[in-house]
Amino acid sequence: MRGFVLTTCLGLAVASAALSARAGETPKAADPEFRLLVLGGHTVRWNVPAAGLPATITYAFLTEPASFPGARNCDAMLAPDAALKRSHVSLEDFRREVRAAFSQWEQAANIVFKEVSSAHDAGILIGADAKSRGRAFTNVALHQGLARAEVKSGPDSIRQSLICLNPDQPWKIGFDGNLNVYDLRFTVTHEIGHAIGLDHPSPEGQLMSFRYVEKSRTLQPGDVAGAVALYGRKGMDAPAMPAKAPSPSPAPSGDRAFGLGANESR
Q: What is the 3-state secondary structure (H, E, C) of the chain?
A: CECCCCHHHHHHHHHHHHHHCCCCCCCCCCCCCCCECEECCEEEECCCCCCCCCEEEEEEECCCCEECCCCCCCCEEECCHHHHHHHCCCHHHHHHHHHHHHHHHHHHCCEEEEECCCHHHCCEEEEEECCCCCCEEEEEEECCCCCCCCCCCCCEEEEEEEEEECCCCCEECCCCCCCCCEEHHHHHHHHHHHHHCECCCCCCCCCCCCCCCCCCCCCCHHHHHHHHHHHCCCCCCCCCCCCCCCCCCCCCCCCCEEEECHHHEC
pLDDT of residue 42: 85
pLDDT mean over 31-48: 90
Q: Is the pLDDT of residue 241 over 50?
A: yes
pLDDT band at 156 (very low <50, low <70, confident <90, very high): confident
pLDDT of residue 247: 46
pLDDT of residue 188: 98
pLDDT of residue 51: 87
Q: Cα-Cα-Cα-Cα dihedral of 147, 150, 155, 159, to 10°?
A: -30
pLDDT band at 190 (very low <50, low <70, confident <90, very high): very high
pLDDT of residue 155: 61
Please state whether beta strands 156-165 and 42-45 pair in parallel, antiparallel, or not at all (unpaired): parallel
Instruction: Please state, in angstroms and rounded to a whole number, the distance separating the CA atoms of residues 43 and 24.
Output: 39
The answer to whether the beta carbons of residues 45 and 229 sit under 8 Å apart is no
Q: How many CB atoms lie within 10 A of CB 18?
A: 9
Highest-scoring range by mean pLDDT, 39-43, 169-173, 249-253: 169-173
The answer to whether the beta carbons of residues 115 and 58 sit under 8 Å apart is yes
Q: Is the pLDDT of residue 187 over 90?
A: yes
pLDDT mean over 92-112: 98
Tell me which of 30 and 146 has the higher pLDDT: 30
pLDDT of residue 163: 98
pLDDT of residue 40: 80
Domain edges within the chain: 30-264
Q: Cα-Cα-Cα-Cα dihedral of 66, 185, 171, 125, to 10°?
A: 0
pLDDT of residue 259: 64
The answer to whether the beta carbons of residues 138 and 163 sit under 8 Å apart is yes
pLDDT per position as a tens digit, 106-150: 999 999 999 999 999 999 999 999 999 999 999 999 986 544 444
Highest-scoring range by mean pLDDT, 93-97, 148-152, 230-234: 93-97
pLDDT band at 258 (very low <50, low <70, confident <90, very high): low
pLDDT band at 196 (very low <50, low <70, confident <90, very high): very high
Tell me which of 21 and 67 has the higher pLDDT: 67
Q: Cα-Cα-Cα-Cα dihedral of 223, 227, 229, 231, to 10°?
A: -170
Q: What CATH number matches the domain at 30-264, 3.40.50.720, 2.60.34.10, 3.30.360.10, 3.40.390.10?
A: 3.40.390.10
Percent of the chain topping pLDDT 70: 74
pLDDT mean over 245-258: 41
pLDDT band at 28 (very low <50, low <70, confident <90, very high): low
Q: Is the pLDDT of residue 235 over 80?
A: yes
Q: Buried b / exposed e across 38-63, counting CB within 10 Å, b at 16+?
A: bbeebbbbbebeeeeebbebebbbbe
Instruction: Please state, in angstroms and rounded to a whole number, the distance separating the CA atoms of residues 112 and 188.
Output: 16
